Amino acid sequence: MTQQPAAPPYPSVPPNHPQSTTALVLGILGLVLCGAIAPFAWNIGSQAVREIDASGGAWGGRSEANAGRIMGIVGTVLLALGFLAFIAFVVVFVVLGATSMTTIHTTHTHLVR
């Protein structure tokens, strides 16, 4: 009786990069809780994706690292837009405040004369 050849072994799944989950968690936190964390997610995620790509299959977790990187980019853009909106609000407030003070001063001066 002939024995069938052994089936080829399944390829092993490489372990996740140590920073892939960190990038994902920071990306989620950067979007949900604190936008100041988002640039860190972008940086760590980008670095992890580069290292995973350069590892030749020794590291896994590219999708987690890339998701963290993308959420970091989105969170950073939202943070920048929020900062610009705050600056615009302050500028408008200062201009309107200065205009109001000029109007009050002009009206008061006109009434006094």
Largest CA distance in the chain: 122
Average pLDDT score over residue span 85-113: 73
Contacts of 25 (CB under 8 A, 6+ apart): 68
Model-level pTM greater than 0.85? no
Let me know if residue 49 belongs to a domain. Answer: yes
State the pLDDT at residue 95.
85
CA distances (Å), origin 112, targets 19, 98, 106, 108: 71, 21, 10, 6
In a domain, 12, yes or no: no
Q: Say what the pLDDT of residue 5 is.
A: 78
**27-78 per-position pLDDT tens digit:** 999 999 999 999 999 999 999 999 999 999 999 999 999 999 999 999 999 9
Which residue range forms the structural domain that includes residue 31? 20-112
For residue 104, being part of any structural domain is answered with yes
Average pLDDT across the chain, whole number: 88
Q: Give the pLDDT of residue 66.
A: 98
Distance of alpha carbon 10 from alpha carbon 6, whole angstroms: 12
Neighbours of 6 (CB within 10 A): 6
| Range 5-13 average pLDDT | 78
4: in domain: no
∠ CA 55-14-71, rounded to 5°: 75
